[in-house]
């Protein structure tokens, strides 16, 4: 364990001078949107090392002309509280747009939290296409106990539901509109969405699990390891990182390091 952490810290210090991946698409998680990659400093970190910001991939948005032959970074906008398959369908639509703009270039998908599971489901359902690498950061591949809690809290209980709505305010409303997603992120067991997903054949591409080694009170560390997904046993590289569940600027350095290794 300590050896892996030392290796990670060394990798972060050795910032790559020229990552060789062509296109990277960033997929946000629950209760966030594409701007979280900017606010965390990740887009700025990658831009400082030669990555052109291609802007958001979203319905109704016409991205500027692609820079052919360079390194282009996109962020995807998804309805964060929608079921996994709905988000997967939307991600596939935006992925197709990126592939049309960069027909001869490799694509790396980077998904944070639930976005990592959405990205993996997209690859399982639609195939790898031009994607050669999936990187997930603190993603609940085996589910999260908070999904169980979310379903319990938002379950209707007659007149007491009114009290919960008043006391919970906007947070309760957001949770109550996320019940289908909570159901999808229940700990993997027979009959759940994750149990189905984790037993499906996965594309033969590179996989990397960026795992929060401590202080993640949202997704258990074991759930973040794609090696524990039955269909991916032993196929995922592992990077152990410090900090809480949320994105940090050092995640940009981790992604750059991983792209350099391709």
Whether residue 248 lies inside any domain: the answer is yes
pLDDT of amino acid 164? 44
pLDDT of amino acid 21? 54
Whether residue 219 lies inside any domain: the answer is yes
Average confidence (pLDDT) over 27-45? 97
Number of domains in the chain: 1
Whether residue 240 lies inside any domain: the answer is yes
Q: Would you say residue 85 has pLDDT above 80? A: yes
Q: How far is CA 114 from CA 30, 47, 62, 104, in A?
A: 6, 25, 26, 29
pLDDT of amino acid 67? 60
pLDDT of amino acid 156? 67
Percent of the chain past pLDDT 70, that is, above it, reads: 82
Whether residue 168 lies inside any domain: the answer is no
* Tokens 């892996």 sit on residue: 4
Whether residue 232 lies inside any domain: the answer is yes
Percent of the chain past pLDDT 90, that is, above it, reads: 75
pLDDT of amino acid 63? 66
Average confidence (pLDDT) over 211-218? 94
The model's confidence at residue 214, banded by pLDDT at 50, 70 and 90, is confident
Average pLDDT value for the chain? 87
pLDDT digits (tens, 9 = 90+) for 94-147: 999 999 999 999 999 999 999 999 999 999 999 999 999 999 999 999 999 999
pLDDT of amino acid 69? 64
Domain that holds residue 18: 2-144+185-256
Whether residue 60 lies inside any domain: the answer is yes
Whether residue 9 lies inside any domain: the answer is yes
Q: Among 17-26, 87-96, 103-112, 223-232, which stretch is predicted with the lowest mean pLDDT? A: 17-26
How far apart are the C-alpha atoms of 71 and 68, rounded to whole Å?
A: 8
Whether residue 138 lies inside any domain: the answer is yes
The model's confidence at residue 60, banded by pLDDT at 50, 70 and 90, is confident
Give the CATH number of the domain where residue 45 resides: 3.40.50.1820
Q: Would you say residue 199 has pLDDT above 70? A: yes
Q: Would you say residue 252 has pLDDT above 70? A: yes
pLDDT of amino acid 109? 98
pLDDT digits (tens, 9 = 90+) for 152-171: 988 865 444 533 443 445 67
Average confidence (pLDDT) over 14-32? 75
């Amino acid at each position: 364990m300590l050896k892996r952490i030392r290796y990670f810290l060394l990798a972060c210090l050795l910032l790559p001078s020229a990552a060789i991946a062509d296109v990277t698409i960033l997929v946000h998680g629950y209760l966030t949107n594409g701007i979280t990659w900017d606010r965390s400093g990740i887009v700025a970190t990658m831009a400082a090392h030669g990555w052109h910001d291609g802007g958001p991939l979203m319905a109704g948005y016409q991205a500027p002309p692609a820079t052919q032959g360079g390194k282009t970074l996109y962020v995807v906008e998804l309805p964060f509280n929608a079921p996994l398959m709905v988000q997967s369908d939307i991600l596939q639509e935006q992925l197709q747009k990126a592939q049309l703009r960069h027909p001869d270039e490799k694509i790396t998908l980077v998904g944070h939290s639930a976005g990592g599971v959405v990205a993996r489901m997209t690859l399982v359902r639609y195939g790898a296409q031009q994607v050669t690498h999936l990187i997930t950061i603190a993603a609940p591949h085996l589910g999260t106990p908070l999904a169980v809690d979310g379903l319990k809290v938002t379950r209707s209980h007659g007149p007491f539901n009114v009290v919960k709505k008043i006391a919970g305010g906007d947070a309760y409303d957001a949770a109550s509109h996320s019940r289908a997603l909570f159901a999808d992120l229940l700990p993997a067991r027979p009959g759940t969405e994750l149990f189905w997903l984790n037993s499906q054949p996965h594309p033969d591409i590179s996989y990397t699990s960026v795992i929060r080694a401590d202080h993640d009170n949202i997704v258990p560390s074991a759930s973040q390891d794609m090696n524990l997904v039955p269909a991916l046993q032993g196929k995922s590289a592992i990077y152990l990182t410090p900090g809480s569940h949320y994105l940090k600027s050092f995640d940009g350095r981790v992604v750059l390091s991983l792209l350099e290794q391709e």
